[in-house]
Amino acid sequence: MVYAGSAACSFQVKESFSGWRASFQPEEPFSAFGYETLHLAIHPGDAAASDRQWLQLGAEGGGSINLLSEGLVDLTRQEWQMVEVPVEAFALEGPASGFYLLGKFGGTFYVDDIYLATGTQRPSIPTAVVEEQVAGLPEGFVLRQNYPNPFNGETVIGFVLPTREEVELTVFDLVGQRVTTLVWGTWEVGEHEVRWDGRDEYGRKLASGVYLYLLRAGSRIEGRKLLLLE
């Protein structure tokens, strides 16, 4: 099950006593067997924080987890936040018909890139086992901070690919709307750099402010923010 579009999915919600619900459902039920984690990207947008707010992520046919109390999402951070939840946290005993968000807060927030990942797709975690590295190859998937930052005129965004991948590097504004796509296609293993002149996909200069850039390589996603000065 994957949701990944050219623009993030936006939700305008109102705070109520019982809260609200947003569902993500594929055409047919699916089995989570063989998967280890559920990934998604959340941007709080203009969500209004309160003392009694909550946000739960759950699986249809299983349990749920509170993203706020677990520290997986911070509604005060106005940036894309990458969420990774172990599939076992949902206690699924059979096929699931989808995933859902339950919340109690108001405003507009954004969700993108929902997918299930196997163990081979997760970032490496230090263990007692020594992993052999192939000499001359990058050690992992990396999205570097752009430089200069802040910038006026042009900036450079670097990234590292440990394997040959289908890559998409996209710039968003703070409300989750796509500004421009800088990279699209298959890229080889190694270190890469892309230059951006601060213009949208139509060649128009953008206003000064904070923007987000998101790199998707295969099933992996990483995001950072940059500051454009004009």
Q: Tell me the pLDDT tens digit for each residue of 32-84.
A: 777 778 878 888 888 876 777 889 999 888 899 999 988 889 888 888 788 88
pLDDT confidence bin for 196, thresholds 50/70/90:
very high
Q: How far apart are CA 62 and CA 60, in angstroms?
A: 6
In the chain, list all ranges with CATH 2.60.120.430: 2-120
Q: How far apart are CA 220 and CA 123, in angstroms?
A: 9
Checking if the pLDDT of 133 tops 50, the result is no
Beta bridge pairs of residue 111: 9, 42
CATH class, domain 142-228, is mainly beta
pLDDT score for 38: 84
CATH no., domain 2-120:
2.60.120.430
pLDDT score for 53: 87
pTM attached to this predicted model: 0.51
In the chain, list all ranges with CATH 2.60.40.4070: 142-228
Beta bridge pairs of residue 22: 101
Q: How far apart are CA 6 and CA 82, in angstroms?
A: 17
Q: Which two tokens stand for residue 89?
A: 């946290």
Pick from 212, 111, 214: which is nearest to 169 by CA? 214
Residue 180 CA to its chain's centroid (Å) = 17
Mean pLDDT of the chain: 79
Whole-angstrom Cα Rg for the chain: 19
Q: How far apart are CA 128 and CA 108, in angstroms?
A: 44
